Structure 1
Amino acid sequence: MNRALRRAAPLALASAAALLLAGCAGSPAPEASETPAAAACMDVKPGELSDGVTVEGEFAASPTATFTTPLQADELERTVAIEGDGDETVAGDPMNVVVTAFSGTSGESLFSQPTTITAGDEAVFESFRAGIDCVPVGSRTVTVAPASTLYGETGNETIGVAPNETVVIVIDIVEVQQPLKPAEWTENVPEVKFGAEGEPPTVTLPATDPSTELQLKVLEEGDGAEVGEGDNVTVNYQGISWDTGEIFDQSYTRGEPASFTTDGVIPGFGAALVGQKVGTKLIVTIPPELAYGTDAAAHALGGQTLVFLVEIVDTAPAAE
C-alpha cells in the first residue's frame, strides 16, 4: 500500500507521520515496494556533518541540537548518538519513536512529536527511514538529510523548510509498537449533549484531574461497517483540552465531516476508531504521550490531555 496517496488529516489531528511520507508537500511518490520485511539494511554511514551535531535532552522527550549553521549536505549521513541495548530493528516492525527535526539553515526546531515509523517502509522518506534502520531499540540517531532525500526543490512550507534546505533529524527509537487498545472509560466521563441539526454538541468536562490512560466510552453503537487499521474514515469530531477546557478544533462548525486514515492521526485518536462501527458515537480521553507529546514547548497542544467526541460517518480501505 502506498501511504503517500492517502488523504491527510486536519492539522489539529495530524501526527508527525504525515510529514514522513514521500509524496507529501509536492515530493515525488516512490515506486510501490514489495513487503518491507524483504528490505535489507541501508548503507548510511556517519560523516563529518552528522558527527558534528551535539544533541542534549532526555531520551524520548524533545531534545535540542547544536551545530554550525548554515549546514548544507550533499549526501545522507547518520550518526548513532546513543546506542540502545535492545534488539536491532527489523524491516516490517512498526517502531514507536520521537522525531525531532531542525532547520539546517537556522538550527531552529521545526517539529518534535512522537509517532510510528515502520522499519523498511519505502513509502517513508529515506532520510527518516535511515534514522531507525538496523539499530538497537533504545538508540538515538542523528541524520543529516540533504534536500534531495527529503522535500527537494519544493521544501515544506507547513513546517518551515525552505526549498533545497538541508534538515537535521534526531530520532529516539523507543520500542516496537504493541497494539494500542483503549480501556473502557467508566469514571469521570464528561457530559455530552447533542444539539439540533447544524449545531455543535456540548461537552462538559468534570472538575477532576484527567486520566493518565487512553480511555474510551461508546455513547451510541452503530451498526455499519467496522473501521479497520489504516482505513480511510470520515468523522465528525470535537476536540477539547482537559487542561484549558477549551475547544481547539472541530468539524461541526465547518459544516462537513473530515476524512483521513487511522494511521495518519495522533496515535490515541486512531486507536479509538479502529474496531468501531460506522454510526458509532464515542468519547475518548488521550494522555499527552499518545497525542502531541509531553513537551509543552514542542507543540501548541504538547503536554495536554485531549478529549475527542467523535461520530463515525463512513469508512473504507485506504487506496492501494
Structure 2
Amino acid sequence: MRRRSILIAVPAGMVTLAACGGDKDESSKATESASPSETSAAPAPKIVDGPVPAITAGTKFGEKPTVAKGSGDPSKDLAVKTVIAGGGKVVAENDYIQAHYLGQIWDTAKVFANSYDAKTAALVPLVQGQIYEGWRFGLAGKKVGSRVEMAVPPTWGYGTEGNAQAGIKGTDTLVFVVDIEDSFNAKSSAKGEVVAQDNVDLPKVGTNTDGKAPSLEIPKTDPPKKLVANYIIEGDGPEVSAESTVLVQYKGVQWDTGKEFDSTYANKQLASFSLQQVVKGWTQGLAGKKVGSRVLTVIPPELGYGDNPQPGSGIAKGATLVFTVDILAKM
C-alpha cells in the first residue's frame, strides 16, 4: 500500500494482531511482534476440519475462550473448524474484519496474543503480507457472527523462522480462536441519518451509500480559516477518540482547485490507521464523531501540511484540504 497523503510519517501499512494486547503475563511481550512479517506468499493450503484443541471455557461468542493444549501431533494442513456458525455477511479475501481473537501455541497452550483482555476488537486486513496466511485462507468464506478455531502450521504462520520475541519457534503450530464481529470491503459506506447541509459557504457532499465515491462540490468562495468537521451522515456507533485506530473510506481534494489528490475509492482499498499518525486536522476533526458516519472536514494549512506537503502528494504549499470521510469502524 502506498503512503497515504494524510499521514504524518507512518505508512497506513500493516494493521497487526499486536494492536490488541492480552494480559501482561502472557502477551505483553508479544505486543510488537505478534504479527507475521511480510514474506513471499505461501502456497494455498489444503483445509481440513481438524484436529483442533477443545475450548474448555468461554464457549460463547465474544467470550474470552480457554483452549486446551493440543493433543498428539497437529495436522500438516490448515485445520479450520466453525465452532459457532454466524448468519451475517460472508467474509472474502482482502476484506477487513473486526474480530476478537486468542492465539496460543499447540504444544504448550501458551497464549501469545489476545484481544479480549483489552476489550477492543481488532481490525484485521485479510490481505497477503498483512496477516497470517492461515487467517487469509482460513477465514475467507466464513460468515460474520461466527466463531472459528484454526490450527495453523508454520508454513501459514511465522514460517521456519518463528518469532523469538513472542516465544514462537519455527516448528510451532499456532492455535487461534476468532470471533468475527463484522467485515468491510472496498464497497463499504457510511450508514445513518442524513444531516442537512445548510451552509452555502461550505462544500456540498453526496449522500450515496452504495460504496461509490460521494460527490464533493467546492463553493466559489474563500476557504474557512478554522477547522470544519461536520456530519453529512450521522451514524449511531461508538464515538472515536483522538487515540483511536479507524477504518475509513475517504477522498481528499484541494479547496482552490477541487483536484483530487488521494482516495480509497480510486485505490479500491480501505485505509486503517491511528489518529495519532495523521495530520492534526484529521485527529481533531474525527475525534468525537460516531462510527458509521460520513464527515466533511475542511483543514486549514496549519492543521494540514502548511508549506511542507509530502513530495509527490499532489498537495500544494499552503493548501486548504477538503475530505469526505466514512468512519466504518474503530478500535
Query: Taking structure 2 as the reference length, what is the TM-score of the superposition?
Result: 0.47
Taking CA–CA contacts closer than 8 Å with sequence separation of 6 or more, which of the two structures ends up with the larger relative contact order?
1
For the pair shown, which has the larger CA radius of gyration, 1 or 2? 2
